[in-house]
Structure 1
Amino acid sequence: MKPEDLEKLVTLEMPFGKYKGRVIADLPGNYLNWFAREGFPKGEIGRLLALMQEIDHNGLKGLLAPLRRKG
């Protein structure tokens, strides 16, 4: 993980699928867990989805709040 990845989670929108246009940090846990079971996409988006799933799974979404206020 790179420090700027956390910033991307609160700014980058999901580029496809059911939640297209929603910021990655706002994706529901069950959707992130589905990717964890079925496989994350390749590339940066998959890496960020995996990171967000880990954050959500461990109950750490609150850590992203200061980054939201910053932007």
Structure 2
Amino acid sequence: MDDQQKSLIKLAHTKMPFGKYEGKYLIDLPEYYLVWIHNNRLPNGQLGEQLKLVYELKLNGLEELIRNIKKQYPKPFS
């Protein structure tokens, strides 16, 4: 398994660490919130990159890919 696959598995299991949606999986964040955070306060680092990817996936109707990964790989990689 390559690094890209591992990062998608990790994304599928990452939860929002703060704010109104704290504890929700990133892929389950509402689209309007992702648009707002993308336009106003995208965090730096890995979380920012993950939110940017979730934004793009939702924008293109591909969030089921991440949900399927979460089902197929129930435990994330460290």
TM-score of the alignment, normalized to the shorter chain, above 0.5: yes
Is the aligned partner of 1:17 residue 2:11?
Answer: no
Structure number with higher relative contact order (C-alpha < 8 Å, ≥ 6 residues apart): 2
Unpaired runs of at least 5, structure 1 = none
Distance 1:65 1:35 in 2: 21
What residue number does 2:58 align with?
56
Distance 1:39 1:3 in 2: 27
Which SS does the other structure have where 1:2 is aligned? helix
Distance 1:31 1:19 in 2: 9
Percent identity over paired residues: 37
- Number of residue pairs matched by the alignment: 71
Unpaired runs of at least 5, structure 2 = none
CA RMSD of aligned residues (A): 1.6
Which SS does the other structure have where 1:41 is aligned? coil
Return the index of the structure with the highest Cα Rg: 2
